[in-house]
Structure 1
Protein backbone atom coordinates (compact mmCIF):
# COMPACT_ATOMS: atom_id res chain seq x y z
CA UNK A 1 0.00 0.00 0.00
CA UNK A 2 1.35 3.40 -0.98
CA UNK A 3 1.23 6.17 1.63
CA UNK A 4 0.53 9.88 1.04
CA UNK A 5 0.83 12.50 3.77
CA UNK A 6 -1.42 15.50 4.40
CA UNK A 7 -0.12 18.84 3.11
CA UNK A 8 -0.53 22.36 4.50
CA UNK A 9 -1.83 24.93 1.99
CA UNK A 10 1.15 27.20 2.65
CA UNK A 11 3.45 24.39 1.54
CA UNK A 12 1.42 23.57 -1.55
CA UNK A 13 1.89 27.13 -2.83
CA UNK A 14 5.57 26.27 -3.36
CA UNK A 15 5.05 22.93 -5.16
CA UNK A 16 6.11 22.53 -8.76
CA UNK A 17 4.26 20.22 -11.17
CA UNK A 18 6.24 17.13 -10.21
CA UNK A 19 5.69 17.66 -6.48
CA UNK A 20 1.96 18.35 -6.96
CA UNK A 21 1.59 15.08 -8.80
CA UNK A 22 3.62 13.17 -6.22
CA UNK A 23 1.38 14.37 -3.40
CA UNK A 24 -2.11 14.35 -4.95
CA UNK A 25 -2.18 12.49 -8.27
CA UNK A 26 -2.83 8.71 -8.42
CA UNK A 27 -1.78 7.64 -11.92
CA UNK A 28 -2.56 3.91 -11.77
CA UNK A 29 -5.79 2.59 -10.31
CA UNK A 30 -6.12 -0.67 -12.23
CA UNK A 31 -3.58 -3.36 -13.07
CA UNK A 32 -4.49 -6.86 -14.31
CA UNK A 33 -4.95 -9.38 -11.47
CA UNK A 34 -3.72 -6.86 -8.89
CA UNK A 35 -5.00 -4.87 -5.93
CA UNK A 36 -3.73 -1.25 -6.02
CA UNK A 37 -4.21 0.88 -2.88
CA UNK A 38 -3.14 4.37 -1.81
CA UNK A 39 -3.61 5.53 1.79
CA UNK A 40 -3.85 9.28 2.25
CA UNK A 41 -3.58 10.91 5.66
CA UNK A 42 -6.41 13.20 4.55
CA UNK A 43 -9.04 11.66 6.85
CA UNK A 44 -7.28 8.27 6.39
CA UNK A 45 -9.07 7.62 3.11
CA UNK A 46 -7.88 4.68 1.02
CA UNK A 47 -8.25 4.97 -2.76
CA UNK A 48 -7.62 2.05 -5.07
CA UNK A 49 -8.76 -0.55 -7.52
CA UNK A 50 -9.04 -4.28 -8.15
CA UNK A 51 -8.97 -5.70 -11.67
CA UNK A 52 -9.42 -9.48 -11.72
CA UNK A 53 -8.72 -10.93 -15.15
CA UNK A 54 -7.31 -14.47 -15.11
CA UNK A 55 -7.75 -14.96 -11.37
CA UNK A 56 -9.65 -13.56 -8.41
CA UNK A 57 -8.25 -10.64 -6.42
CA UNK A 58 -8.44 -10.75 -2.63
CA UNK A 59 -8.71 -7.67 -0.40
CA UNK A 60 -5.62 -8.03 1.79
CA UNK A 61 -4.52 -6.21 4.93
CA UNK A 62 -1.40 -4.10 5.36
CA UNK A 63 -0.73 -4.72 9.05
CA UNK A 64 1.93 -2.02 9.28
CA UNK A 65 -0.31 0.72 7.87
CA UNK A 66 -3.67 -0.25 9.38
CA UNK A 67 -2.73 -2.05 12.61
CA UNK A 68 -5.63 -4.52 12.35
CA UNK A 69 -6.00 -8.23 11.64
CA UNK A 70 -8.23 -7.78 8.56
CA UNK A 71 -8.87 -4.85 6.24
CA UNK A 72 -12.41 -3.90 7.27
CA UNK A 73 -12.01 -4.58 10.99
CA UNK A 74 -12.33 -0.86 11.67
CA UNK A 75 -13.20 0.38 8.18
CA UNK A 76 -16.01 0.52 5.62
CA UNK A 77 -15.72 0.45 1.84
CA UNK A 78 -17.52 1.68 -1.26
CA UNK A 79 -17.03 -0.17 -4.55
CA UNK A 80 -18.08 0.99 -8.03
CA UNK A 81 -17.42 -1.20 -11.07
CA UNK A 82 -16.44 0.74 -14.20
CA UNK A 83 -15.52 -2.32 -16.29
CA UNK A 84 -17.26 -5.48 -17.44
CA UNK A 85 -19.61 -7.52 -15.30
CA UNK A 86 -18.07 -8.86 -12.10
CA UNK A 87 -18.75 -10.41 -8.73
CA UNK A 88 -17.78 -9.34 -5.23
CA UNK A 89 -17.88 -12.05 -2.59
CA UNK A 90 -18.28 -10.72 0.96
CA UNK A 91 -17.97 -13.35 3.70
CA UNK A 92 -19.31 -16.00 1.34
CA UNK A 93 -22.20 -13.98 -0.11
CA UNK A 94 -21.90 -13.18 -3.83
CA UNK A 95 -23.00 -9.83 -5.27
CA UNK A 96 -23.16 -9.40 -9.05
CA UNK A 97 -21.91 -5.92 -9.87
CA UNK A 98 -22.38 -4.72 -13.43
CA UNK A 99 -20.91 -1.58 -15.02
CA UNK A 100 -21.54 1.58 -12.96
CA UNK A 101 -23.17 -0.39 -10.13
CA UNK A 102 -22.14 0.14 -6.52
CA UNK A 103 -21.61 -2.07 -3.49
CA UNK A 104 -21.20 -0.76 0.05
CA UNK A 105 -19.34 -3.16 2.38
CA UNK A 106 -19.80 -2.55 6.09
CA UNK A 107 -17.32 -2.55 8.94
CA UNK A 108 -16.51 -6.01 10.26
CA UNK A 109 -16.69 -7.83 6.91
CA UNK A 110 -13.70 -10.17 6.93
CA UNK A 111 -13.31 -11.74 3.50
CA UNK A 112 -13.74 -9.72 0.30
CA UNK A 113 -12.96 -11.30 -3.07
CA UNK A 114 -13.22 -9.69 -6.52
CA UNK A 115 -13.97 -11.72 -9.68
CA UNK A 116 -14.69 -11.03 -13.36
CA UNK A 117 -17.39 -12.85 -15.30
CA UNK A 118 -15.50 -12.62 -18.61
CA UNK A 119 -11.69 -12.28 -18.78
CA UNK A 120 -12.06 -10.66 -22.20
CA UNK A 121 -14.13 -7.89 -20.56
CA UNK A 122 -12.75 -7.75 -17.02
CA UNK A 123 -14.41 -5.91 -14.19
CA UNK A 124 -12.66 -2.82 -12.83
CA UNK A 125 -13.65 -2.28 -9.21
CA UNK A 126 -12.86 1.23 -7.98
CA UNK A 127 -12.49 1.26 -4.18
CA UNK A 128 -12.82 3.92 -1.48
CA UNK A 129 -12.43 3.06 2.20
CA UNK A 130 -12.69 5.20 5.34
CA UNK A 131 -12.46 4.49 9.07
CA UNK A 132 -15.83 3.51 10.55
CA UNK A 133 -17.21 3.79 14.10
CA UNK A 134 -20.37 1.80 13.34
CA UNK A 135 -21.29 -1.18 11.19
CA UNK A 136 -23.94 -0.91 8.47
CA UNK A 137 -25.27 -3.71 6.22
CA UNK A 138 -23.48 -4.59 3.02
CA UNK A 139 -25.78 -3.16 0.30
CA UNK A 140 -25.82 -3.07 -3.49
CA UNK A 141 -27.27 -0.10 -5.37
CA UNK A 142 -27.50 1.12 -8.96
CA UNK A 143 -27.70 4.44 -10.79
CA UNK A 144 -31.41 3.83 -11.37
CA UNK A 145 -31.93 3.50 -7.62
CA UNK A 146 -29.79 6.50 -6.72
CA UNK A 147 -30.90 9.97 -5.70
CA UNK A 148 -30.17 11.76 -8.96
CA UNK A 149 -30.34 15.35 -10.10
CA UNK A 150 -29.68 17.43 -13.20
CA UNK A 151 -27.38 20.43 -12.86
CA UNK A 152 -25.92 23.06 -15.17
CA UNK A 153 -26.76 23.93 -18.77
CA UNK A 154 -25.18 23.74 -22.21
CA UNK A 155 -24.74 27.53 -22.24
CA UNK A 156 -22.14 27.19 -19.48
CA UNK A 157 -20.76 23.86 -20.75
CA UNK A 158 -21.65 22.11 -17.48
CA UNK A 159 -24.84 20.13 -18.10
CA UNK A 160 -24.48 17.00 -15.98
CA UNK A 161 -26.27 14.32 -13.99
CA UNK A 162 -25.27 13.68 -10.37
CA UNK A 163 -25.99 10.27 -8.82
CA UNK A 164 -25.72 10.05 -5.03
CA UNK A 165 -25.15 6.41 -4.09
CA UNK A 166 -23.73 6.19 -0.55
CA UNK A 167 -25.10 9.17 1.39
CA UNK A 168 -27.44 10.26 4.16
CA UNK A 169 -30.60 9.63 2.09
CA UNK A 170 -29.37 6.51 0.32
CA UNK A 171 -27.13 3.58 1.21
CA UNK A 172 -26.15 4.16 4.82
CA UNK A 173 -22.56 4.40 6.07
CA UNK A 174 -20.61 5.56 9.09
CA UNK A 175 -18.91 8.45 7.27
CA UNK A 176 -18.19 7.51 3.66
CA UNK A 177 -20.10 9.45 0.98
CA UNK A 178 -19.82 8.31 -2.63
CA UNK A 179 -21.42 8.98 -5.98
CA UNK A 180 -20.95 9.55 -9.69
CA UNK A 181 -21.29 12.56 -11.99
CA UNK A 182 -21.82 12.15 -15.75
CA UNK A 183 -21.26 15.11 -18.07
CA UNK A 184 -23.43 15.20 -21.16
CA UNK A 185 -21.91 15.43 -24.68
CA UNK A 186 -20.67 18.93 -25.47
CA UNK A 187 -20.10 19.76 -21.78
CA UNK A 188 -16.69 20.00 -20.13
CA UNK A 189 -16.92 21.80 -16.77
CA UNK A 190 -17.79 20.30 -13.38
CA UNK A 191 -18.31 21.97 -10.01
CA UNK A 192 -17.97 25.53 -11.24
CA UNK A 193 -18.51 27.90 -9.48
CA UNK A 194 -16.14 26.07 -7.16
CA UNK A 195 -16.46 25.37 -3.46
CA UNK A 196 -14.57 23.94 -0.51
CA UNK A 197 -15.83 21.90 2.44
CA UNK A 198 -13.27 22.22 5.26
CA UNK A 199 -15.07 19.51 7.24
CA UNK A 200 -14.53 16.79 4.61
CA UNK A 201 -11.81 15.71 2.18
CA UNK A 202 -12.67 14.36 -1.25
CA UNK A 203 -11.23 12.11 -3.95
CA UNK A 204 -12.08 12.16 -7.66
CA UNK A 205 -11.57 9.37 -10.19
CA UNK A 206 -12.03 10.39 -13.82
CA UNK A 207 -13.07 7.87 -16.48
CA UNK A 208 -15.04 7.48 -19.74
CA UNK A 209 -12.38 9.82 -21.14
CA UNK A 210 -11.00 9.21 -24.67
CA UNK A 211 -7.30 8.36 -24.89
CA UNK A 212 -6.54 11.63 -26.67
CA UNK A 213 -8.36 13.75 -24.07
CA UNK A 214 -7.45 15.13 -20.65
CA UNK A 215 -9.17 16.78 -17.71
CA UNK A 216 -7.51 19.81 -16.12
CA UNK A 217 -8.25 19.28 -12.42
CA UNK A 218 -8.22 22.53 -10.49
CA UNK A 219 -7.15 22.52 -6.82
CA UNK A 220 -5.62 24.78 -4.20
CA UNK A 221 -6.95 27.66 -2.14
CA UNK A 222 -9.32 29.96 -4.04
CA UNK A 223 -6.69 32.71 -3.93
CA UNK A 224 -3.83 30.38 -4.92
CA UNK A 225 -5.09 27.82 -7.43
CA UNK A 226 -3.05 25.02 -9.02
CA UNK A 227 -3.87 22.37 -11.62
CA UNK A 228 -3.12 18.72 -12.34
CA UNK A 229 -3.53 17.13 -15.78
CA UNK A 230 -5.63 13.96 -15.47
CA UNK A 231 -6.08 11.11 -17.94
CA UNK A 232 -8.55 8.27 -18.19
CA UNK A 233 -8.97 6.12 -15.05
CA UNK A 234 -6.75 8.27 -12.85
CA UNK A 235 -7.59 9.65 -9.41
CA UNK A 236 -6.72 12.74 -7.42
CA UNK A 237 -6.78 13.52 -3.69
CA UNK A 238 -8.48 16.78 -2.70
CA UNK A 239 -7.67 18.15 0.78
CA UNK A 240 -10.52 19.69 2.75
CA UNK A 241 -9.13 23.22 2.27
CA UNK A 242 -8.88 22.90 -1.52
CA UNK A 243 -11.29 23.63 -4.33
CA UNK A 244 -11.95 20.65 -6.61
CA UNK A 245 -13.17 21.41 -10.07
CA UNK A 246 -12.20 20.48 -13.58
CA UNK A 247 -12.58 21.06 -17.28
CA UNK A 248 -12.03 18.46 -19.98
CA UNK A 249 -11.16 18.46 -23.64
CA UNK A 250 -14.31 16.30 -23.99
CA UNK A 251 -17.13 15.20 -21.73
CA UNK A 252 -16.31 12.57 -19.11
CA UNK A 253 -17.57 10.83 -15.97
CA UNK A 254 -16.10 10.93 -12.49
CA UNK A 255 -16.62 9.18 -9.17
CA UNK A 256 -16.44 11.36 -6.09
CA UNK A 257 -16.03 10.20 -2.53
CA UNK A 258 -15.80 12.06 0.77
CA UNK A 259 -14.90 11.36 4.38
CA UNK A 260 -14.89 13.65 7.40
CA UNK A 261 -17.08 15.15 10.09
CA UNK A 262 -20.47 14.75 8.42
CA UNK A 263 -22.33 13.13 5.51
CA UNK A 264 -24.18 16.23 4.25
CA UNK A 265 -23.78 16.46 0.49
CA UNK A 266 -24.83 20.13 0.57
CA UNK A 267 -22.29 21.12 3.26
CA UNK A 268 -20.21 23.39 1.02
CA UNK A 269 -18.53 26.78 1.31
CA UNK A 270 -19.22 28.44 -2.07
CA UNK A 271 -16.44 30.31 -3.88
CA UNK A 272 -17.39 33.06 -6.30
CA UNK A 273 -15.71 32.93 -9.68
CA UNK A 274 -14.55 36.48 -9.01
CA UNK A 275 -12.55 35.20 -6.00
CA UNK A 276 -10.49 32.72 -7.98
CA UNK A 277 -6.86 33.54 -8.70
Structure 2
Protein backbone atom coordinates (compact mmCIF):
# COMPACT_ATOMS: atom_id res chain seq x y z
CA UNK A 1 0.00 0.00 0.00
CA UNK A 2 1.44 3.34 -1.06
CA UNK A 3 1.23 6.18 1.48
CA UNK A 4 0.44 9.76 0.44
CA UNK A 5 0.80 12.36 3.20
CA UNK A 6 -1.40 15.43 3.56
CA UNK A 7 -0.40 18.71 1.93
CA UNK A 8 -1.14 22.37 2.58
CA UNK A 9 -1.90 25.24 0.19
CA UNK A 10 1.10 27.37 1.20
CA UNK A 11 3.67 24.69 0.36
CA UNK A 12 1.87 23.60 -2.81
CA UNK A 13 2.42 27.02 -4.39
CA UNK A 14 6.09 26.05 -4.78
CA UNK A 15 5.45 22.66 -6.43
CA UNK A 16 6.89 21.87 -9.85
CA UNK A 17 4.81 19.89 -12.34
CA UNK A 18 6.55 16.65 -11.30
CA UNK A 19 5.99 17.37 -7.61
CA UNK A 20 2.33 18.23 -8.21
CA UNK A 21 1.79 14.94 -10.04
CA UNK A 22 3.64 12.95 -7.39
CA UNK A 23 1.49 14.36 -4.58
CA UNK A 24 -1.96 14.40 -6.19
CA UNK A 25 -2.07 12.11 -9.25
CA UNK A 26 -2.32 8.30 -9.14
CA UNK A 27 -1.21 7.03 -12.55
CA UNK A 28 -1.05 3.21 -12.42
CA UNK A 29 -3.91 1.98 -10.25
CA UNK A 30 -5.32 -0.68 -12.61
CA UNK A 31 -2.91 -3.50 -13.44
CA UNK A 32 -3.99 -6.94 -14.65
CA UNK A 33 -3.79 -9.50 -11.86
CA UNK A 34 -3.16 -6.94 -9.14
CA UNK A 35 -4.97 -5.06 -6.38
CA UNK A 36 -3.22 -1.73 -5.82
CA UNK A 37 -4.01 0.56 -2.89
CA UNK A 38 -3.05 4.14 -2.04
CA UNK A 39 -3.55 5.48 1.49
CA UNK A 40 -4.14 9.23 1.51
CA UNK A 41 -3.84 11.15 4.77
CA UNK A 42 -6.45 13.56 3.37
CA UNK A 43 -9.43 12.30 5.37
CA UNK A 44 -7.62 8.93 5.62
CA UNK A 45 -9.16 7.64 2.43
CA UNK A 46 -7.84 4.50 0.75
CA UNK A 47 -8.06 4.47 -3.05
CA UNK A 48 -7.79 1.18 -4.89
CA UNK A 49 -7.97 -0.65 -8.18
CA UNK A 50 -8.48 -4.42 -8.53
CA UNK A 51 -8.21 -6.25 -11.86
CA UNK A 52 -8.63 -10.00 -11.18
CA UNK A 53 -7.70 -12.22 -14.13
CA UNK A 54 -7.13 -15.93 -13.55
CA UNK A 55 -7.19 -15.76 -9.74
CA UNK A 56 -9.36 -13.80 -7.29
CA UNK A 57 -7.87 -10.85 -5.43
CA UNK A 58 -8.35 -10.39 -1.70
CA UNK A 59 -8.81 -7.05 0.05
CA UNK A 60 -6.29 -7.05 2.89
CA UNK A 61 -5.15 -4.54 5.49
CA UNK A 62 -1.44 -5.20 5.06
CA UNK A 63 0.93 -3.44 7.46
CA UNK A 64 -0.27 0.10 6.79
CA UNK A 65 -3.68 0.00 8.52
CA UNK A 66 -2.48 -1.64 11.76
CA UNK A 67 -5.67 -3.70 11.93
CA UNK A 68 -6.39 -7.41 11.66
CA UNK A 69 -8.39 -7.00 8.45
CA UNK A 70 -9.21 -4.18 6.03
CA UNK A 71 -12.78 -3.40 7.12
CA UNK A 72 -12.16 -3.71 10.85
CA UNK A 73 -12.61 0.06 11.24
CA UNK A 74 -13.54 1.01 7.68
CA UNK A 75 -16.27 0.99 5.03
CA UNK A 76 -15.78 0.76 1.27
CA UNK A 77 -17.55 1.74 -1.94
CA UNK A 78 -16.84 -0.19 -5.15
CA UNK A 79 -17.75 0.64 -8.75
CA UNK A 80 -16.94 -1.70 -11.61
CA UNK A 81 -15.57 0.16 -14.67
CA UNK A 82 -14.76 -2.99 -16.67
CA UNK A 83 -16.49 -6.19 -17.77
CA UNK A 84 -18.75 -8.24 -15.53
CA UNK A 85 -17.32 -9.38 -12.23
CA UNK A 86 -18.21 -10.53 -8.74
CA UNK A 87 -17.37 -9.27 -5.28
CA UNK A 88 -17.64 -11.89 -2.56
CA UNK A 89 -18.35 -10.63 0.96
CA UNK A 90 -17.99 -13.56 3.31
CA UNK A 91 -20.08 -16.24 1.64
CA UNK A 92 -22.31 -13.81 -0.27
CA UNK A 93 -21.71 -13.04 -3.96
CA UNK A 94 -22.54 -9.70 -5.59
CA UNK A 95 -22.41 -9.58 -9.38
CA UNK A 96 -21.48 -6.20 -10.82
CA UNK A 97 -21.89 -5.11 -14.41
CA UNK A 98 -20.06 -2.05 -15.69
CA UNK A 99 -20.96 1.08 -13.67
CA UNK A 100 -22.77 -0.86 -10.92
CA UNK A 101 -21.93 0.09 -7.33
CA UNK A 102 -21.51 -1.98 -4.17
CA UNK A 103 -21.20 -0.66 -0.62
CA UNK A 104 -19.68 -2.86 2.11
CA UNK A 105 -19.93 -1.74 5.70
CA UNK A 106 -17.74 -2.07 8.76
CA UNK A 107 -16.74 -5.46 10.12
CA UNK A 108 -16.57 -7.83 7.13
CA UNK A 109 -13.37 -9.86 7.22
CA UNK A 110 -13.42 -11.59 3.82
CA UNK A 111 -13.76 -9.53 0.63
CA UNK A 112 -12.53 -10.92 -2.70
CA UNK A 113 -12.74 -9.74 -6.30
CA UNK A 114 -13.44 -12.04 -9.27
CA UNK A 115 -13.81 -11.61 -13.05
CA UNK A 116 -16.47 -13.54 -14.94
CA UNK A 117 -14.19 -13.85 -18.00
CA UNK A 118 -10.42 -13.67 -17.60
CA UNK A 119 -10.04 -12.51 -21.22
CA UNK A 120 -12.25 -9.50 -20.39
CA UNK A 121 -11.60 -8.81 -16.71
CA UNK A 122 -13.62 -6.66 -14.38
CA UNK A 123 -11.95 -3.46 -13.22
CA UNK A 124 -13.03 -2.67 -9.69
CA UNK A 125 -12.46 0.86 -8.40
CA UNK A 126 -12.76 1.24 -4.65
CA UNK A 127 -12.75 4.05 -2.11
CA UNK A 128 -12.61 3.39 1.62
CA UNK A 129 -13.08 5.73 4.57
CA UNK A 130 -13.14 5.34 8.34
CA UNK A 131 -16.37 4.05 9.88
CA UNK A 132 -17.87 4.03 13.37
CA UNK A 133 -20.83 1.67 12.88
CA UNK A 134 -21.96 -1.04 10.49
CA UNK A 135 -24.35 -0.28 7.65
CA UNK A 136 -25.76 -3.10 5.49
CA UNK A 137 -23.92 -4.28 2.42
CA UNK A 138 -25.92 -3.01 -0.54
CA UNK A 139 -25.68 -3.11 -4.33
CA UNK A 140 -27.07 -0.42 -6.59
CA UNK A 141 -27.06 -1.19 -10.32
CA UNK A 142 -26.81 1.80 -12.61
CA UNK A 143 -30.18 0.88 -14.14
CA UNK A 144 -31.77 1.33 -10.70
CA UNK A 145 -29.93 4.53 -9.79
CA UNK A 146 -31.72 7.85 -10.14
CA UNK A 147 -30.11 10.09 -12.78
CA UNK A 148 -29.84 13.82 -12.15
CA UNK A 149 -29.53 15.93 -15.29
CA UNK A 150 -27.44 19.11 -15.00
CA UNK A 151 -25.70 21.71 -17.16
CA UNK A 152 -26.40 22.95 -20.67
CA UNK A 153 -25.05 22.58 -24.19
CA UNK A 154 -24.32 26.31 -24.28
CA UNK A 155 -21.95 25.96 -21.32
CA UNK A 156 -20.45 22.70 -22.67
CA UNK A 157 -21.30 20.89 -19.41
CA UNK A 158 -24.41 18.80 -20.05
CA UNK A 159 -24.05 15.80 -17.78
CA UNK A 160 -25.88 13.04 -15.95
CA UNK A 161 -25.02 12.47 -12.29
CA UNK A 162 -25.65 9.20 -10.48
CA UNK A 163 -25.50 9.50 -6.70
CA UNK A 164 -24.86 6.03 -5.33
CA UNK A 165 -23.66 6.42 -1.73
CA UNK A 166 -25.07 9.53 -0.06
CA UNK A 167 -27.66 10.75 2.40
CA UNK A 168 -30.60 9.89 0.13
CA UNK A 169 -29.18 6.67 -1.33
CA UNK A 170 -27.03 3.88 0.08
CA UNK A 171 -26.36 4.75 3.72
CA UNK A 172 -22.81 4.98 5.06
CA UNK A 173 -20.92 6.50 7.98
CA UNK A 174 -19.15 9.24 6.04
CA UNK A 175 -18.40 7.98 2.53
CA UNK A 176 -20.12 9.61 -0.45
CA UNK A 177 -19.65 8.23 -3.94
CA UNK A 178 -21.16 8.74 -7.37
CA UNK A 179 -20.51 8.98 -11.08
CA UNK A 180 -20.88 11.71 -13.70
CA UNK A 181 -21.37 11.00 -17.42
CA UNK A 182 -20.85 13.87 -19.81
CA UNK A 183 -23.09 14.23 -22.86
CA UNK A 184 -21.54 14.26 -26.36
CA UNK A 185 -19.99 17.67 -27.06
CA UNK A 186 -19.69 18.58 -23.39
CA UNK A 187 -16.20 18.78 -21.87
CA UNK A 188 -16.45 20.71 -18.58
CA UNK A 189 -17.09 19.27 -15.14
CA UNK A 190 -17.70 21.11 -11.85
CA UNK A 191 -17.59 24.60 -13.29
CA UNK A 192 -18.29 27.08 -11.69
CA UNK A 193 -15.80 25.63 -9.25
CA UNK A 194 -16.28 25.16 -5.53
CA UNK A 195 -14.47 24.02 -2.42
CA UNK A 196 -15.65 22.23 0.73
CA UNK A 197 -13.21 22.80 3.54
CA UNK A 198 -14.45 19.92 5.72
CA UNK A 199 -13.98 17.09 3.22
CA UNK A 200 -11.49 16.04 0.58
CA UNK A 201 -12.56 14.59 -2.78
CA UNK A 202 -11.14 12.04 -5.19
CA UNK A 203 -11.79 11.90 -8.95
CA UNK A 204 -11.27 8.87 -11.20
CA UNK A 205 -11.36 9.74 -14.90
CA UNK A 206 -12.14 6.85 -17.28
CA UNK A 207 -13.81 5.81 -20.55
CA UNK A 208 -11.31 8.00 -22.39
CA UNK A 209 -9.56 7.27 -25.69
CA UNK A 210 -5.82 6.59 -25.71
CA UNK A 211 -5.21 10.12 -26.94
CA UNK A 212 -7.84 11.73 -24.73
CA UNK A 213 -6.81 13.91 -21.81
CA UNK A 214 -8.54 15.86 -19.05
CA UNK A 215 -6.98 19.09 -17.85
CA UNK A 216 -7.88 18.93 -14.17
CA UNK A 217 -7.71 22.25 -12.34
CA UNK A 218 -6.85 22.35 -8.65
CA UNK A 219 -5.37 24.64 -6.03
CA UNK A 220 -6.73 27.60 -4.12
CA UNK A 221 -9.17 29.69 -6.17
CA UNK A 222 -6.75 32.62 -6.15
CA UNK A 223 -3.83 30.52 -7.42
CA UNK A 224 -4.85 27.53 -9.52
CA UNK A 225 -2.72 24.74 -10.98
CA UNK A 226 -3.51 21.96 -13.42
CA UNK A 227 -2.81 18.27 -13.95
CA UNK A 228 -2.93 16.54 -17.34
CA UNK A 229 -4.82 13.31 -16.69
CA UNK A 230 -5.02 10.17 -18.85
CA UNK A 231 -7.53 7.31 -18.89
CA UNK A 232 -8.10 5.51 -15.56
CA UNK A 233 -5.99 7.94 -13.56
CA UNK A 234 -7.02 9.40 -10.21
CA UNK A 235 -6.70 12.89 -8.72
CA UNK A 236 -6.64 13.45 -4.95
CA UNK A 237 -8.20 16.85 -4.26
CA UNK A 238 -7.50 18.29 -0.77
CA UNK A 239 -10.24 20.11 1.11
CA UNK A 240 -8.64 23.50 0.35
CA UNK A 241 -8.58 22.91 -3.41
CA UNK A 242 -11.01 23.42 -6.25
CA UNK A 243 -11.61 20.34 -8.42
CA UNK A 244 -12.71 20.99 -11.97
CA UNK A 245 -11.74 19.74 -15.40
CA UNK A 246 -12.06 20.06 -19.15
CA UNK A 247 -11.48 17.20 -21.57
CA UNK A 248 -10.12 16.99 -25.08
CA UNK A 249 -12.81 14.38 -25.81
CA UNK A 250 -15.51 12.36 -24.08
CA UNK A 251 -14.89 11.04 -20.55
CA UNK A 252 -16.68 9.83 -17.43
CA UNK A 253 -15.58 10.32 -13.85
CA UNK A 254 -16.29 8.84 -10.44
CA UNK A 255 -16.23 11.19 -7.47
CA UNK A 256 -15.90 10.22 -3.84
CA UNK A 257 -15.68 12.18 -0.61
CA UNK A 258 -15.19 11.62 3.10
CA UNK A 259 -14.95 14.07 5.93
CA UNK A 260 -16.83 16.00 8.55
CA UNK A 261 -19.96 16.80 6.53
CA UNK A 262 -22.25 14.15 5.02
CA UNK A 263 -24.40 16.39 2.83
CA UNK A 264 -23.74 18.68 -0.13
CA UNK A 265 -24.73 21.81 1.80
CA UNK A 266 -21.18 22.85 2.69
CA UNK A 267 -20.05 23.72 -0.84
CA UNK A 268 -18.59 27.21 -1.22
CA UNK A 269 -18.94 28.27 -4.85
CA UNK A 270 -16.23 30.40 -6.41
CA UNK A 271 -17.17 33.31 -8.65
CA UNK A 272 -15.57 33.20 -12.08
CA UNK A 273 -14.01 36.62 -11.52
CA UNK A 274 -12.25 35.29 -8.40
CA UNK A 275 -10.45 32.46 -10.20
CA UNK A 276 -6.78 33.05 -10.97
Scaled by the length of structure 1, what TM-score is found? 0.98
What is the aligned partner in structure 2 of residue 197 from structure 1?
196
In the TM superposition, what is the alpha-carbon distance from 1:6 to its structure 2 partner? 0.5
Contact 1:167-1:176 at 8 Å conserved across structures: yes
What is the aligned partner in structure 1 of residue 164 from structure 2?
165
Match runs of 1:179-198 below 5 Å: 179-198=178-197
Task: Deviation per CA, 1:218-264: give whole Å up to 9, x if none.
Answer: 00000010000000000010000100000000121000000001211
Contact 1:142-1:165 at 8 Å conserved across structures: no
Task: Deviation per CA, 1:121-165: give whole Å up to 9, x if none.
Answer: 100000100000111000000223223211111111100001000
Alignment length, in residue pairs? 276
What is the aligned partner in structure 1 of residue 2 from structure 2?
2
Tell me the distance in 2 between the aligned counterparts of 1:230 and 1:110.
Answer: 34
Task: Deviation per CA, 1:182-216: give whole Å up to 9, x if none.
Answer: 00111100000000000110000000111111000
Contact 1:147-1:170 at 8 Å conserved across structures: no
Tell me the distance in 2 between the aligned counterparts of 1:95 and 1:169.
Answer: 22
| 2:118 alignment partner, SS class | coil
Gaps of 5+ in 2: none
| 1:48 alignment partner, SS class | strand
What is the aligned partner in structure 2 of residue 123 from structure 1?
122
Contact 2:96-2:141 at 8 Å conserved across structures: no
Tell me the distance in 2 between the aligned counterparts of 1:182 and 1:193.
Answer: 17
What is the aligned partner in structure 1 of residue 58 from structure 2?
58
What is the aligned partner in structure 2 of residue 219 from structure 1?
218
Contact 1:198-1:241 at 8 Å conserved across structures: yes
Contact 2:204-2:253 at 8 Å conserved across structures: yes
Tell me the distance in 1 between the aligned counterparts of 2:185 and 2:39.
Answer: 35
Task: Deviation per CA, 1:61-99: give whole Å up to 9, x if none.
Answer: 123x21110000000000000000000000110000110
Tell me the distance in 2 between the aligned counterparts of 1:120 and 1:70.
Answer: 30
What is the aligned partner in structure 2 of residue 239 from structure 1?
238
| 2:18 alignment partner, SS class | helix
